[in-house]
């Protein structure tokens, strides 16, 4: 087939974004099913899967339902309508949910019981346990829980997003002679969903009961003199997209805070109920929430398995968890008393988290805050907790009369409240706080320090692929570059000017930035590889990212494949490109790697005719990142560090044969089966860059 006759706009060449995301969540669930992993890590993966699916309904399903409600008839590149997508989601989620609870009930719980970790079901409570539960209920729960009997004076209550609730069917009259058929009991988020039994009544080393079981056992105490016919747990998931018309508000922070209050009661998208709940009750709930039966999911266990993560945290069994790992530190940064600025002057420094510690970044900003020669510190903040040591340093710097600027992205999904608190704390300390650019999320990760050295000013920068979050830096894989390269620093300076001031697009010397040059720059480089291939020169693309969805990028990759460019992509989550299509994507391989750490690095390597060009970036190859966000994509200019980025960020992942899923042309993923020597990218990097305790 002639490449020129192929219509690259044809819907058959694209996978649906939302269905691809479901495939990612399926892979997370497969990790929980993997008997080769430590038992409590499997439980943790089950909790992660549950949390992922909650967000999936709150965001992706909510968006499709909204499209359907407003009559949006347009389709994405894959050609599926909102109705098509929702039908597919329903079918696949039911399959996944069945496997989720089968795994819990038939595999994990029995295996945990054999290890002395037991969750006791209500029918199995001993007499002593029943008595302890009764006292616990009266002491801890009865004063807190508020039953709502439904009648004309007590209409159906507003149910918060994702909290545990019970619908109770009643018979009889209360003290006022009122007859109510139903009541609702809500369990506040502050209550733990798994309760550890004390040693005197426990029958194993770690013994737990579900909060839902305790409430079930004593729900009649809420309704004296009435008969409780049945009691069933349920949970509602709501649309969690914040809708703030940024160009129509005077104070973005105040507008976001107002929307956060409403998000807890936004449009319902999913109802989960116990599979023992009778049709009469769940139909009543569906009617109250304005949902259809296709929005109903009946579960064989607790409605929120994410809360089982409390068991992982509570049980001190190193033999059932990943072996301890201590991140390393680059040799040049191992002297605790060193002047970090002098060290940076000797050459760029590459950090690879979590294999290497994030502490050098914290130390950099700490020294900057204390150094009298530092005049200014500027930093972008996407997901940073208000009590972070980096925030402490900015506060100290501002109080020391340094010029401190923080660009805070208030609209970082599910972190909005923390970002508002962060903005308040920094503002109170005298930091100049700005919220980026209206209509464009500030997603780039940049830190710049301006220091007087003799008669001149020198700028030091840190650029990263991940957030300035000291906790997640221990679990997310990310690259960071620390440099005082004048051209790189000049680009960072210009980007901060663009974020805090007004003016036309500023031309950068070395970096690509979204939404201006990044999309175009990537396509130019992909097309350049195609031209090199046609000329018979070395041509190859290796790239690692979290998501690939942008249509023009995919088309460019297809054209490069048609020209003979070998393309290896490591895409953790969403991938809308179909590899292996004859005449279109024969030379493209796509793999997804999951493991102990969340793969988060964005690394792009273009062979460039034998002179490889390597970039690290804050952006995935998604339309939102490339066209609707402020992003940074920075070159690795030092030749030795370029080799390191390839050796650490690409080569081990392309060689991995134990934690890899290969994407097939039909959109499904197949887990690789090791042939010969087993290779695991994360294990290799832990052993190379840090200290891994032998299990």
Asked if the domains 326-503 and 513-692 are classified in one and the same CATH topology, the answer is yes
Please state which architecture CATH assigns to domain 513-692: 2-Layer Sandwich (3.30)
What mean pLDDT do residues 627-641 have?
96
Asked whether the predicted pLDDT for residue 501 surpasses 60, the reply is yes
pLDDT tens string 328-374: 999 999 987 889 999 999 999 999 999 999 999 999 999 999 999 99
Question: Sorting pLDDT into bands at 50, 70 and 90, what band is 244?
Answer: very low
Asked whether the predicted pLDDT for residue 260 surpasses 60, the reply is no
Predicted pLDDT of residue 248: 44
Question: Sorting pLDDT into bands at 50, 70 and 90, what band is 435?
Answer: confident
Predicted pLDDT of residue 431: 95
Predicted pLDDT of residue 385: 84
Instruction: Please give the Cα distance from 414 to 649 (Å, whole number).
Output: 29
Catalytic site positions: 443
Measured N-to-C along each axis, helices 211-218 and 127-136 cross at an angle, to the nearest 10 degrees, of 90
Instruction: Please give the Cα distance from 422 to 356 (Å, whole number).
Output: 27
The phi and psi torsions of 455 (rounded to 5 degrees) equal -95, 0
125-to-214, 228, 350, 598, 682 alpha-carbon distances in Å: 11, 21, 56, 39, 43
Better-predicted residue by pLDDT, 410 or 4: 410
Instruction: Please give the Cα distance from 33 to 96 (Å, whole number).
Output: 12
**The three-state (H, E, C) secondary structure of 67-103, written as one string:** HHHCCCCCCCCCCCCHHHHHHHHHHHHHHHHHHHHHH
Fold of the CATH domain 15-320: polyphosphate kinase like (3.30.1840)
Please state which architecture CATH assigns to domain 326-503: 2-Layer Sandwich (3.30)
Instruction: Please give the Cα distance from 239 to 292 (Å, whole number).
Output: 16
Question: Sorting pLDDT into bands at 50, 70 and 90, what band is 254?
Answer: low
**Cβ proximity of 570 and 545 under 8 Å:** yes
Asked whether the predicted pLDDT for residue 73 surpasses 50, the reply is yes
Listed by start position, the domains of the chain span 15-320, 326-503, 513-692
Question: Sorting pLDDT into bands at 50, 70 and 90, what band is 525?
Answer: very high
Sign of the four-CA dihedral 434, 436, 437, 439: negative
Predicted pLDDT of residue 517: 96
Instruction: Please give the Cα distance from 656 to 81 (Å, whole number).
Output: 37
Residues 6+ apart with CB under 8 A from 267: 62, 65, 66, 238, 239
What mean pLDDT do residues 578-586 have?
97
């Amino acid at each position: 087939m002639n490449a020129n006759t192929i219509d690259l706009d044809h819907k058959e060449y694209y996978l649906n974004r939302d269905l691809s995301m479901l495939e990612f969540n399926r892979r997370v669930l497969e990790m929980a099913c993997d008997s080769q992993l430590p038992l409590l890590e499997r439980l943790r993966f089950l909790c992660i899967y549950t949390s992922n699916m909650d967000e999936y309904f709150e965001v992706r399903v909510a968006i499709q339902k909204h499209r359907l409600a407003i009559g949006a008839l347009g389709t994405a590149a894959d050609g599926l309508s909102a109705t098509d997508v929702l039908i597919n989601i329903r079918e696949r989620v039911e399959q996944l949910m069945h496997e989720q609870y089968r795994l819990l009930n038939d595999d994990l719980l029995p295996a945990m019981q054999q290890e002395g970790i037991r969750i006791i079901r209500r029918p199995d409570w001993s007499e002593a346990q029943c008595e302890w539960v009764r006292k616990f209920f009266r002491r801890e729960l009865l004063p807190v829980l508020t039953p709502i009997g439904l009648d004309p004076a007590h209409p159906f209550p507003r149910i918060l997003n994702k909290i545990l609730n019970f619908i109770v069917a009643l018979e009889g009259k209360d003290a006022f002679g009122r007859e109510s058929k139903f009541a609702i009991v809500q369990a506040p988020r502050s209550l733990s969903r798994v309760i550890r039994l004390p040693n005197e009544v426990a029958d194993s080393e770690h013994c737990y009961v579900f909060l839902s079981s305790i409430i079930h056992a004593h729900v009649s105490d809420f309704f004296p003199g009435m008969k409780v016919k049945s009691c069933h747990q349920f949970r509602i998931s709501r649309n969690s997209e914040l809708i703030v018309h940024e160009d129509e508000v005077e104070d973005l922070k105040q507008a976001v805070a107002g929307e956060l209050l409403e998000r807890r009661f936004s449009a319902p998208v999913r109802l989960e109920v116990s599979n023992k709940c009778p049709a009469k009750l769940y139909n009543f709930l569906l009617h109250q929430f304005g949902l259809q039966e296709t929005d109903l999911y009946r579960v064989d266990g607790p409605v929120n398995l994410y809360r089982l993560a409390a068991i992982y945290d509570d049980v001190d069994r190193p033999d059932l968890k990943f072996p301890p790992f201590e991140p390393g530190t680059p040799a040049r940064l191992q002297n605790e008393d060193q002047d970090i600025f002098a060290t940076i002057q000797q050459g760029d420094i590459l950090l690879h988290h979590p294999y290497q510690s994030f502490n050098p970044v914290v130390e950099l900003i700490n020294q900057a805050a204390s150094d009298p020669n530092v005049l200014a510190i500027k930093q972008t903040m996407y997901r940073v907790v208000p009590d972070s040591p980096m925030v402490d340093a900015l506060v100290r710097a501002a109080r020391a009369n340094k010029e401190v600027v923080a660009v805070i992205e208030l609209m970082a999904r599910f972190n909005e409240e923390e970002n508002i608190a962060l903005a308040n704390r920094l503002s109170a300390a005298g930091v100049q706080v700005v919220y980026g650019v209206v209509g464009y999320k500030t997603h780039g990760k940049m830190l710049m320090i301006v220091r007087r050295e003799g008669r001149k000013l020198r700028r030091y920068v840190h650029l990263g692929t991940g957030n300035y979050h000291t906790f997640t830096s221990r679990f997310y894989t990310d690259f960071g570059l620390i440099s005082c390269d004048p051209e790189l620093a000049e680009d960072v300076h210009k980007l901060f000017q663009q974020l805090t001031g007004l003016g036309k697009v500023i031309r950068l010397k070395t970096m690509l930035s979204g939404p201006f040059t990044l999309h175009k720059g990537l396509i130019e480089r992909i097309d350049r590889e195609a031209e090199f291939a046609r000329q018979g020169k070395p041509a190859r693309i290796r790239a690692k990212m979290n998501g690939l969805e942008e249509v023009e990028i995919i088309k460019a990759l297809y054209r490069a494949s048609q020209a003979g460019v070998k393309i290896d992509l490591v895409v953790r989550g969403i991938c809308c490109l179909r590899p292996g299509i004859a005449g279109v994507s024969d030379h493209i391989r796509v793999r997804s790697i999951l493991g102990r750490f969340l793969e988060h690095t964005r690394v792009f390597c273009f062979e460039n005719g034998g002179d490889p060009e390597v970039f690290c970036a804050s952006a995935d190859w998604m339309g939102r990142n490339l066209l609707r966000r402020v992003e940074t994509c920075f070159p690795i200019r030092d030749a030795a560090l370029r080799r390191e980025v390839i050796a650490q960020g690409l080569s081990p992942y392309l060689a991995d044969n134990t934690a890899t899923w290969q994407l097939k042309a039909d959109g499904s993923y197949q887990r690789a089966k090791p042939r010969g020597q087993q290779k695991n990218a994360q294990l290799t990097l832990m052993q190379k860059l840090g200290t891994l305790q032998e299990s």
